[in-house]
A and B are shown apart, each in its own frame.
Chain A
């Protein structure tokens, strides 16, 4: 099995761009799709990226996902930051045994 490691917290100002990383501990990041979920305080999670870089309908194009095989990591980039983007963000993937793995989550502060 593998772990997905995310920074505990990131912060940035409104209007700027922030990138959250998700590093896979073993095995190749390109082997299995990576998803990203947003969880605002007191709310259920919602999906912002699936299958590495696909946006569900209704998710603004300010949100984008990418994969970097050289660093064995996935990234979520949020551009033109808004205060409403302040939330916890979780990456998720799966292993060869069909078990899902979540990252520990990153708290994004928009100040």
Chain B
């Protein structure tokens, strides 16, 4: 069955960096677009970024553009999110998700990122 397992979350100081990973299994990873979605505590869902099958198409939300980098390793069935210049407003649960350039069909369980001094 489809599994998406995020890791790499934790506590980081403002201005710091963190790299999230998502290990995918149970499907042909290179056949799908992949996305990162986040949810601040007690708030709604916010799209962060998505990446095409071969990483030739990448889009970011304006709130993270220039600070976050999405990437993938199809040989390892893994998705990544490099987060730099982190701010308090980036505190959220980050979800890895499978789908297309316009929808998600499977979600991971999420990893919590807390930005605080």
Contacts and interface: CB of A to CB of B under 8 A. Distances in A.
Interface of A: 32-33, 35, 37, 39, 44-47, 50-51, 56, 88, 90, 92-94, 97-105
Looking at chain B's contact residues, the main secondary structure is: strand
B107 interface: yes
Contacts of B95: 44-45
Nearest to B93: A44
A39 B42 CA distance: 12
Contact of A98 (B46, B101, B103, B109): B101
A32 B62 CA distance: 20
18 contacts: A32-B102, A44-B107, A44-B110, A45-B95, A45-B104, A45-B107, A46-B107, A50-B104, A90-B44, A94-B101, A98-B59, A99-B47, A99-B62, A100-B47, A101-B47, A102-B46, A102-B47, A105-B44
Interface of B: 35, 37, 44-47, 50, 59, 61-62, 95, 101-110
Nearest to B59: A98
Contacts of B45: 37, 39, 45, 90, 92, 102, 105
A101 B61 CA distance: 9
Nearest to A102: B45
Nearest to A103: B44
Given A45-B45, A94-B102, A105-B44, A99 B61 contact: yes
Contacts of B44: 88, 90, 102-105
A1 to B, nearest CB: 9
B57 to A, nearest CB: 8
Contact of B102 (A33, A88, A104): A33
A33 B105 CA distance: 14
Contacts of A90: 44-45
